[in-house]
Structure formats: structure tokens, C-alpha cells
Amino acid sequence: MGADVSDGGGWDFPDVSLDAASDSTAPCTNTPPTPGSGTTYFIAPTGSDSNAGTSASPFATIQQAGNVAQPGDTFIVRQGSYPGFIFCWDGPMQGSYSTIAGTEQAPITFMADPMAPVGFVVIHTQNDKTPVGIDLEPGCDHIVIWGFNVQADSTITKAGIKATGRGDSVIGNTVANAGGFGVLSDLANDFLLDGNTIIGTTGTGDDGHGYYLSGTNDGAVVRCNVIHDNANLGIHINGDESEGGSGVVTNALIENNSIYDNGSPSNPGNGINADGLQASTIQNNLIWGNSMHGITLYQIDAGQPANDNVIVANTIVQPNSSGVAIEVENASVGNVVFDNILIGGADGTYNLDNASAASFISDYNVVLDMFDATSDTSDTTLTLAQWQSSSGQDHHSIIANTATLFDDLMDANFHLTSQSQAIGAGTGMFASLSAPTTDDDGVARGIAGRWDVGAFVFPPFFCCPRP
């Protein structure tokens, strides 16, 4: 489990998952996928790979699907424990191994049996080629992975689930205790990560991330995931020019995720780490209790800085961290921040270098009364009033009163109280950019032209626990 990040100042968040109220959202559903237009096969521990794969005569291993899968096929995996599986492997001296691919209109689906109890279709060891549980190598396009419980043993040292094809979807899975990365997508355009729980990823330095999005790619959607208690970063986006292409990640949508308790004092972790993220939107996320920054935009490995992103309607609460709510560095320009609750840690609300600050736009936020001076050589901090005067930003932003802001701060329930100053403090339209039309619960925003700030609107809507 994650480290206790309390500094003794009364902000000791519980080391537990969200309560049903905060961990719920109407847009986040996890209904089983509809079988495709092709053949439906069955897999069961009691089966045999020499069987026909019918309901009455199932296969024994998921790997057997590599010998028969065609676009539109569905593989239903019955209750039990299975070794990992890998498709599209073409290693040295191996030749082609289990090469499969769907199409956009006819994906190939691997799904845990919806009639089995949730979590009872288990992947427990690595596949037979790589130290990964579920591995979709290059060429595995339009593959859906739904509903598996990857409970990693000591053989899974690279990732619980890996996807490298175009249009792959990883939906409604649990990945626990994997080495390296919980879920890894690498050079994977149009990748979907939806409704997963990722917990307990181990590693230090470049490892230990809940979700790692790597390489040049476009169109990733990361929504409705619960990512917590991982050794390092919650979400790490790494454009990585060394892998080829432009080295940037473009047109990503990161929304409705709960990202918390990642990293530790000895292994600082950010909620969302974005190297070379461009023209993307980060909205309606709950980010709290991580050991360093909430969201950071920068350039190290990427081909270009993290430019032209919109950060809107998020709730970031990290008062015990060593960092800030939002950091923007390395001349990352054109970024816009509005309608957020931004409670950072030791360094306050923002940390910006001068080049990034020149085109940074922020307003209508609920903030701490502490800002970076935007001097590359100074550690000076400013009050909100001083920040407004020196930067020209946040003129409609207000200082957070944590006593009345949230329903139950100590229990990590970040719905708004009836006295919350976040009510009506935002705007639905700012700098020609729209806030999301619903909150993290799926409740419609917008009252008399002024919207509530943060991931939730008031009154709260208690709906459906996330998967």
C-alpha cells in the first residue's frame, strides 16, 4: 500500500480506496462488450486446446486463440486461473507467433465470462515469451481486452498488460502488483484505457508507474480508471523521441480518473506526468495524496515540450506533498488552466519557468494562497494577489477555504458542501474553450452561466460505483 504522506498537520488522508460516493460516475460504465460478427469461442480450465472451442468443448488456454482468431471473433474466458498470453510476437529466431488483428469495424475481443463473479478470471503468471501478463505486440490492431484480473506474481516484471497496436482497448480490468508498469501502451495510436483499476505497481526510477503511455502516438483516451498506491507515478506520458516519429503525444483525452496515493517520500510520484503532451485535454479527474505534483507538463525525452493543453474541472488536493498542484516547465507554451480546485503541497499552486509562463492562461480556479514567482533562478513564492498583479492571470480565482470546501476532506470525499466556495465560482466558457458539460458523476454543469469549480457540481449525485 502507499506511504502515509501526512506531515502531522491534520491532512492525513486514509490509505483506502474511494468511498462509493467519490468513486462513482455515471459516464463510467463497464458493461460487457457485445460479441462480434464472427465466431464466439470459449476457454475454460477444464478444456483442451485440441477441442473445437465451443461452449460444450472449450479450449484450455487463451494462447490457443492465436491459431484461430479472425476479425470479429469473440473469446469468452470462463472462471479460473490462467497463464498470461501474447499475440503478434516475432522475436529473434522465433518467426511469426500468434499473429492476429481485428479491424475498426470488426475487432477481436477477449473477455472474462460476464456470468462469472467479478475478478474470478485471473491471469497469474507471465506469457511464454515476455515478462508481461497480457501482451499485444506490434501488429495486434483493434484488440479488446475486457474484465480480466491480472494478479501478478514474480514473473511479471515488465507490465501487467501491454498494448502496441492501433485501436486497441483495455477495459474494465484489474492489474495488481505488476513489476514495471501496471498497463503499458507503446506507439499505440487510438488506444483506449477505460474503467480499469491499477494498484501496487512496483519499481523505482523509470519503473513503478500505474499507466505508462510511451512513444509518438495520437488519439489516446484514458478515462474512468482508478490508479492508486503505485510505487512511482500514477499516469506517465512520455513522448520519447528515441522511439521514432515526432516524439510527441497528441490529441489525448484524460478524464474522470481517480489518481491517488502514488509515490512515496523516497520515490516521489506525480498524479499525471506529461512529457511532450500536446493539444490534449485533462478534465474531471480526482487527483490527491500523491507524493509530489498533481499534474506536470514538461519536456525531457519528448521531441517537443508539452504545448497547447487544456486542464479543466479537475480536483487536485495534495497539501502534504513536496510539490505543487500544477507544474509547467521547459518552455511548454499555450497551456490553459481553468475551473479547477488546486490545493498543492510545499510549493503551492503553480510552478512555472519563465518561458512557460509567458503564454500560460489561468483563471476561475480555487487555489492555495501561494504561487511560484516564475523566475528561473528564484524560489520566491507569491500570494494570490501578488500573482494576479505580476502575471495578469487568475483574476477571478479565489483562495480555498478547506473547512467548507468539501463534504469530508479527511475521508477523501471531494463532493462540495452547500457552503462550498467552489459553487458558481467557475465559467462554462473561457478563452474560447469549453468546460466539460457534465461532472465526474455525470451531473449536468451550468447554472445561470456560471459553473461549479472542480470535478463535482453541487448538489452531489450518488450514483453508480465505478468498476
Structural contact between residues 161 and 179, judged by C-beta atoms closer than 8 angstroms: no
Quote the pLDDT of residue 438: 84
Identify the pLDDT of residue 267.
87
pLDDT score at 94:
61
DSSP β-ladder status, 169-171 and 143-146: parallel
Cell of 330: 521547459
Q: What is the pLDDT of residues 344-390, one digit of tens each?
A: 999 999 999 999 999 999 999 999 999 988 877 777 899 999 999 99
Q: Which residues of 127-155 are buried (b: 16+ CB within 10 A; e: fewer)?
A: bebbbbbbbbbebbbbbbbbbbbbbbeeb
pLDDT number for residue 429? 57
Let me know: does 441 contact 433? Beta carbons within 8 Å: no
Q: What is the pTM of this model?
A: 0.92
> Contact at 8 Å (CB) between 129 and 83?
no
pLDDT tens track for 182-212: 999 999 999 999 999 999 999 988 899 999 9
Using alpha carbons, select from 78, 230, 61 the residue that is nearest to residue 134. 61
Q: Would you call the peptide bond into 459 cis, given omega within 30 degrees of 0 as the criterion?
A: yes
The bridge status of strand 413-416 relative to strand 295-298 is: unpaired
Cell triple for 187: 506507439
How confident is the model at residue 92, as a pLDDT? Answer: 60
- Is the distance from CB of 97 to CB of 90 less than 8 angstroms? yes
77 strand-pairing partners: 43, 112
- Can you list the domains of the chain with their CATH numbers? 172-434 (2.160.20)
Residues of the chain with pLDDT under 50: 1-26, 431-432, 463-467
Cell digits for 82? 490462467
- Torsion angle, CA of 272/163/109/28, rounded to 10 degrees? 0
Q: What is the pLDDT of residue 35?
A: 85
Amino acid identity, position 87: F
